[in-house]
Amino acid sequence: MRILVTGAAGFIGSHLAEEFVRDGHDVVALDNFEPFYDRGIKEHNVKVGRDTAAESDGSYELTQGDIRDEDIVNEYVGDADVIFHQAAQAGVRASVEEPQKVNDVNVSGTLNMLEAARNSDTKRVVVASSSSVYGKPEYLPYDEDHPTTPVSPYGASKVAQEQYARIYNEVYNLPTVTLRYFTVYGPRMRPNMAISNFVSRCLNDEPPVIYGDGTQTRDFTYIYDVVQANKTLLDNDSADGEILNVGSTDNIEIRTLAKEIRDQLAPDLELEYGERNAADAKHTHADISKARKLLGYEPRTTIREGVEQFTEWYCDNRDWYEPLIRNS
C-alpha cells in the first residue's frame, strides 16, 4: 500500500511512517521542517525511517514541502492510497502569539489536503486532532459529544479542521476519520512537554518546574498506543466520518507526575512552581468507548509504565537527544 504521512518528520508522524515502512508499505513522508524546535530531532526521525526501510520490504521517500502549497499537495496526494494527516502548527502557547499562522497551517493546509484527496482515488484520510478542542470541561471524562469550547487559537483551529473533515465525508463522500489525541508522549517526543522536561531536568540535577499549582490533570497517551489506533484505519471503514478520542488508561495530576519522576531520578531535588498559562487546559481525561467499539482500540501502556520506558529510552539516547531538546 502507498501511504502519505504529512508531518512525517515530527514526533507522531515519524512513528507512523516508521511503523508502516516496517510493515512493508511504501511511505511518502511530507514535512516542511518548521523550526518550532531543533531541526536535528526531525532529521533523526527521518534517519529512523530510512534505516527502517533499509531493513524491511517497505520504502521511505522524503519530500520537503508545505501543506499550504497546493501544487505540492496535489502532486503527492494523488498517488496515495491512504493519507495520515499529522502536519500542523503545534503549540498551544505559541498559537496565542501567532493565531493567524496556526489558522493558515492547520485550517487552510488541511483544506488543501482534503480538496486534493476528493479529486483523487485516495481511499481514506485520517486527520490528527487534539483534546485541546474541548477547552473547559463541563464533565469528565470527555466523550465526543462534549461541547467544543477551546481556550486557545490552536484548539479553535483543530475544531475547524475536524469539521472540514466531517463535511468532506458527508458532502463529497470522501472517507475521513478524525482522531483526537490526548497528550501523546514517548521516545523522540518534542521538547518542552512536561514529561521530557521533568526527566531532562532531573537527570541534570535541576528541579522540575510545574506551571500552576500542579493540580491540573492530564490524560497522557503513549506513542505506541496512538500508532496502533492509526494502523487499524488502513483497512477499517467502520469509523468513516467519525471523530474519535484516542486517550490512555488513566490520568494523573501534574504535580504527582513530577514527584514520581523526581523520586525515581533525583529524590533530593525540590519541586519548583511557575505561572500557568491561561491557554493551557486545566484538565483532560478521555472517554475512549467509541474508539474501543469502532476500532477495537485498547491502550496498553499506563502512565507509570510509559514514563519508565521513556526514561530508559532517554538515557540510552541521551548523547544526541538531550542537547537538542535543551537547546530548543
Is pLDDT at 290 greater than 90 in this prediction? yes
C-alpha span between 45 and 9 (Å, rounded): 6
Is pLDDT at 164 greater than 80 in this prediction? yes
The rounded radius of gyration (Å) of the Cα atoms in the chain is 19
pTM: 0.96
Mean pLDDT to the nearest integer, 297-306: 96
C-alpha span between 178 and 163 (Å, rounded): 9
Is pLDDT at 248 greater than 80 in this prediction? yes
- Is 172 annotated as catalytic? no
Q: What is the pLDDT of residues 259-284, one digit of tens each?
A: 999 999 999 999 999 988 776 778 89
Q: Which percentage of the chain shows pLDDT scores above 70?
A: 100
Q: What is the pLDDT of residue 280?
A: 76
Mean pLDDT to the nearest integer, 192-209: 95
CATH class of 2-182+222-247+286-300: alpha beta
* Helical (H) or strand (E) element with 3: strand 2-6
Q: What is the pLDDT of residue 328?
A: 78
Mean pLDDT to the nearest integer, 224-243: 97
Q: What is the pLDDT of residues 3-37, one digit of tens each?
A: 999 999 999 999 999 999 999 999 999 999 998 88
Q: Nearest 5°: phi and psi at 97? A: -80, -30
Mean pLDDT to the nearest integer, 188-216: 94
Catalytic residue among 76, 134, 154, 181: 154
Q: What is the pLDDT of residue 327?
A: 86
Q: What is the pLDDT of residue 279?
A: 66
C-alpha cell at 133: 478542542
**Domain locations along the chain:** 2-182+222-247+286-300
Q: What is the pLDDT of residues 121-141, one digit of tens each?
A: 999 999 999 999 999 999 999
Helix/strand/coil percentages in the chain, nearest 5: 45, 15, 35
Going by pLDDT thresholds of 50, 70 and 90, the confidence category of residue 103 is very high
